[in-house]
Amino acid sequence: MGQSAAIGNQPRISQDRTDGSATLQAGGAWVATNSPPLFESLKALSFHKDEPILVDLNRIDRLDTAGAWLLYRTVRDLRAAGHDVEYRGGTEEQMSLIEQATAHDALCLIEPPEPNVAIRMLEDIGASVMRVGGQATASLAFVGLLMETLWRYTSKPQRFRLTATVKQMELIGLNAMPIVGLISFLIGIVIAHQGAYQLRLFGAEIFTVNLVVTAVLREFGILLSAIIIAGRSGSAFTAEIGSMKMNEEIDAMDTLAISPMDTLVVPRFIALVVMMPLLTFYADVVGLLGGGLISWLSLGIEPMQFLERTHDVILGWDLGVGLIKAPIFGALIALIGCYEGLATEGSAESVGHHTTKSVVESIFMIIVLDAFFSIFFTTIGV
Amino acid sequence: MVAEDLERLHRQSPEEARQSTLKDVAIAIRGLEVGFGGSPIIQDLDLDIYRGEVIGIVGGSGTGKSVLMRTVIGLNKAQAGSVWAFGEDFLTLSYFEQRRIEKRWGVLFQQGALFSALTVAQNVQVPMREHIRGMPQELMDEIASMKLSMVGLPPDAAPKLPSELSGGMKKRAGIARAIALDPEILFLDEPTAGLDPIGAAAFDDLIAHLRKTLGLTVVMITHDLDSLVTVCDRIAVLADKRVKLVGTIDDMLESDHPWIREYFHGPRSRAAGVGKR
């Protein structure tokens, strides 16, 4: 009784039975690439109870560790089932591979075991609480450290790194002008266009100017600049400081008695606090320009008329409300960016993780604070 | 094997080189030139790697050892020359033909280059999962366990993430992944760098053991004189942009090339017991 017979290099296993003993005939290429069909055909084999079995390797022309493992595990299982099994006809190399498989039969866990769902949930909750608590303390400590460093400059101003700060101002402010300008301009256009469309319904097109001025000066100028800067510079802070940390550069600074606060954090912080209001003012102007352009093109409000109207509409505080928020948002982005950078833990994965966190946290905090400011300013009536 | 034999390789026709890789040569490198703009790092380099041997590649920093290895395995582009493997010029093959040849060799990178998001055992399973269609999970688990045991990792290392392992264990896991599909050639980039002497000696033993049991051809870049003496059959010295000398450790000791003299007769080589031979 024989089954399966393929030709050439095809791997094959067949079974012969002569009175009372069985022979397993293995042939062809017993290599890793052929292991799936071999695995299936070996599983399909069946034997009489307790009959002795001979495994004939004579016709195997290629054997690798995967093939040796398949042979070994079959023999091991048959022996465990009470059969008397022996190999026959294997070359020295083939037998040594089977020996390797025998010597290294130690099934191990592939993944760490999954703990019970309830326990895991509790564990997750506990870990999150600990993490949030730890982060709150650490970020408060970071703010404190920054304040202390800034205070020390009052007695030792020579420690302040002017060159680094100016360089950061260029990177954060000057280089961001094209993108901030473009986006503010487009948003100005969108507000004017949408506003005009609605206001035309009751013949109040001229109030488009009020809408544009209030929306751009109070909210959109600052909000857009802050969000762009959080995505552009906040992420860069985290990635730069994070990769320096990964490369042990921060540790090197410490051992050279150079404070990373002085060299890395303060220049970025000061630069952002200074540049944010400037960028916001620039975004305001460009946003109004966009609104004015659309008002002229689609509503026929002449530029001069738009300017006069703007002049009437701005009652002192519109511009101020936007600009007051700017340094605060700037400080926030710098703090979060630098803090997350320093919190990196020395792997590329961690740098990526903290960069994402820095951007998401910054934008979240900006919007929360902005909502708070909006209500606050309305309540006090400015 | 001394300098005139390199001359013989240099004079071989491409057809002779190709024919040689169908017999006792695993990889034949002819007239290889690699550079990244500016002057080439490697120029006119010839080398034969024999089947079943362990060959160590040495050279000062910046002589292009890693560049040579990366070019042979197709990670860097060559400006000129050919790399014959299994009867084909690897560098002129199409992308898919190269993938086919690449399955026949395994590479251990300096830091192990394990996939950080997968556990050690899953790392070993990656080549099987990617290249063998329909391999049962049960069999993959068993074979991964066997390979991890073969490279001397304890079973409790298997479900760990690479970041939880020490440098030596990462390299062992890297080897387990490199031999997952039973390659014919194993490339090792500074396998013992960063290991303590005991760990390095154990790693040398592992390489010798795997080479013997799996019939591997091993190409290793190394600075470790102990490895060169204990596991390498031949040594190829890279200097002046090419293979300056290839031969046994005794050939190295007899050479009068200044760099080779300094390398094999320096204080560190005496500590490794090389000079005494």
pLDDT band of B23, cuts 50, 70, 90: confident
Tell me if B102 is assigned to some domain.
Answer: yes
Question: What pLDDT shows up at residue A165?
Answer: 94
List helix spans (H) across A156-265. Answer: 162-172, 177-199, 207-214, 221-229, 235-246, 249-255, 260
Distance CA A137, CA B193 (A): 41
Query: Which residues from chain B sit within 8 angstroms of residue A347, using beta carbons?
Result: 116, 163
**Which among A35, A108, A111 is the nearest to B148, CB-wise?**
A108
Query: Which residues from chain B sit within 8 angstroms of residue A109, using beta carbons?
Result: 121, 155-156, 158-159
**Average pLDDT score, chain A:** 88
Chosen from B119, B138, B142 to mutate, greatest number of chain A CBs within 10 A: B142
Distance CA A291, CA A185 (A): 8
| Cβ neighbours, 10 Å, residue A198 | 13
Question: What pLDDT shows up at residue A7?
Answer: 37
**Which among A39, A103, A107 is the nearest to B141, CB-wise?**
A107
**Residue B144 neighbours by CB under 8 Å, 6+ apart:** A110, B121, B122, B124, B125, B128, B158, B176, B180
Residues A86-89: contacts with CB under 8 Å, at least 24 apart: A86/A52, A86/A53, A86/A54, A86/A55, A87/A55, A87/A57, A88/A54, A88/A55, A88/A56, A88/A57, A88/A58, A89/A56, A89/A57, A89/A58
Question: pLDDT by residue (tens digit) across B39-84?
Answer: 888 888 888 888 888 999 988 888 888 888 888 888 888 888 888 8
Question: What pLDDT shows up at residue B275?
Answer: 57
pLDDT for A1 beyond 50? no
A125-155 burial, b if ≥16 CB within 10 A, otherwise e?
eeeeeeeeeeeeeebeebeeebeebeeeeee
pLDDT for A4 beyond 50? no
Amino acid at A362: S
pLDDT for A8 beyond 50? no
Assign residue A346 a region: left if phi > 0, alpha if psi is -120 to 50, beta otherwise? left
Question: pLDDT by residue (tens digit) across A47-84?
Answer: 787 788 888 888 888 888 888 888 888 888 888 888 88
**Which among B119, B135, B179 is the nearest to A110, CB-wise?**
B119
CB contact under 8 A, B143 and A66: yes
For the sheet containing B242-247, what is the strand order?
Answer: B105-108, B185-189, B217-221, B54-59, B234-239, B242-247
Chosen from A75, A96, A109 to mutate, greatest number of chain B CBs within 10 A: A109
pLDDT for A293 beyond 70? yes
Question: pLDDT by residue (tens digit) across A231-246?
Answer: 999 999 999 999 999 9
- The average pLDDT across A258-278 equals 94
pLDDT band of A109, cuts 50, 70, 90: confident
Distance CA B106, CA B99 (A): 12
* Of A45, A19, A26, A44, nearest in space to A88 by CA: A26
Question: What pLDDT shows up at residue A328?
Answer: 96
pLDDT for A29 beyond 90? no
Distance CA A170, CA A271 (A): 9
Residues 64-123 of A with CB under 8 A from B: 64-66, 69-70, 73, 93, 96-97, 100-101, 103-113
Q: Which residues pair with B246 in a beta bridge?
A: B236
Cβ pair B65, B238 in contact under 8 A: yes
* Of B248, B151, B228, B143, nearest in space to A71 by CA: B143
Distance CA A219, CA A323 (A): 10
Least Cα separation, residue A11 to chain B (angstroms): 15
**Residue B249 neighbours by CB under 8 Å, 6+ apart:** B228, B229, B232, B235, B264, B274, B277
A349 vs B: CB within 8 A: yes
CATH classification of the domain holding B67: 3.40.50.300
**Looking at per-residue confidence, does B156 or A19 come out higher?**
B156
Question: What pLDDT shows up at residue A172?
Answer: 93
Question: What pLDDT shows up at residue A358?
Answer: 95
CB contact under 8 A, B155 and A106: yes
Cα separations in angstroms, A192 against A198, A204, A293, A305, A307: 10, 13, 9, 15, 14
Q: Which residues pair with A54 in a beta bridge?
A: A23, A86
CB contact under 8 A, B163 and A347: yes
pLDDT band of A141, cuts 50, 70, 90: very high
pLDDT > 70 in chain A, percent? 97
pLDDT for A6 beyond 50? no
Chosen from A108, A349, A350 to mutate, greatest number of chain B CBs within 10 A: A108
Question: pLDDT by residue (tens digit) across B254-269?
Answer: 888 888 888 888 777 7
Distance CA B175, CA B198 (A): 18
CB contact under 8 A, A109 and B144: no
Least confident of A2-6, A244-248, A318-322, B209-213: A2-6
Question: What pLDDT shows up at residue A190?
Answer: 94
Distance CA A346, CA A195 (A): 50
Q: Where are the domains of chain A?
A: 12-103, 137-380
- The average pLDDT across A99-121 equals 85
List helix spans (H) across chain A. Answer: 35-44, 65-80, 92-103, 117-155, 162-172, 177-199, 207-214, 221-229, 235-246, 249-255, 260, 266-294, 303-313, 317-342, 348-380
B77 vs A: CB within 8 A: no
pLDDT band of B251, cuts 50, 70, 90: confident
B87 vs A: CB within 8 A: no
Question: What pLDDT shows up at residue A55?
Answer: 84
pLDDT for A178 beyond 90? yes
Query: Which residues from chain B sit within 8 angstroms of residue A70, using beta carbons?
Result: 139
Question: What pLDDT shows up at residue A40?
Answer: 85
Question: pLDDT by residue (tens digit) across B80-116?
Answer: 888 888 888 888 888 888 888 888 888 998 888 889 8
CB contact under 8 A, A110 and B131: no
CATH topology of domain A12-103: Transcription Regulator spoIIAA (3.30.750)
Question: pLDDT by residue (tens digit) across A340-365?
Answer: 999 998 778 889 999 999 999 999 99
**Which among B132, B136, B156 is the nearest to A32, CB-wise?**
B132
* Of A28, A105, A97, A29, nearest in space to B215 by CA: A97
Distance CA A7, CA A125 (A): 61
CB contact under 8 A, B134 and A36: yes
Question: pLDDT by residue (tens digit) across B174-201?
Answer: 988 988 888 889 999 888 887 788 888 8
Half-sphere exposure of B87 (CA within 13 A, CB side): 3
Tell me if B168 is assigned to some domain.
Answer: yes
Assign residue A355 a region: left if phi > 0, alpha if psi is -120 to 50, beta otherwise? alpha
Query: Which residues from chain A sit within 8 angstroms of residue B179, using beta carbons?
Result: 65
Q: ipTM higher than 0.85?
A: no
B128 vs A: CB within 8 A: yes
Q: How many domains does chain B have?
A: 1
Question: What pLDDT shows up at residue A9?
Answer: 66
Residues 137-166 of B with CB under 8 A from A: 139, 141-150, 155-156, 158-160, 163
Question: What pLDDT shows up at residue B1?
Answer: 45
Query: Which residues from chain B sit within 8 angstroms of residue A112, using beta carbons?
Result: 119, 159-160
A32 vs B: CB within 8 A: yes
Mean pLDDT is highest, among A137-151, B40-54, B64-78, B120-134, for A137-151
Domain that holds residue B119: 51-74+92-271
Cβ pair A72, A97 in contact under 8 A: no
pLDDT for B248 beyond 70? yes
Least confident of A121-125, A371-375, B93-97: B93-97
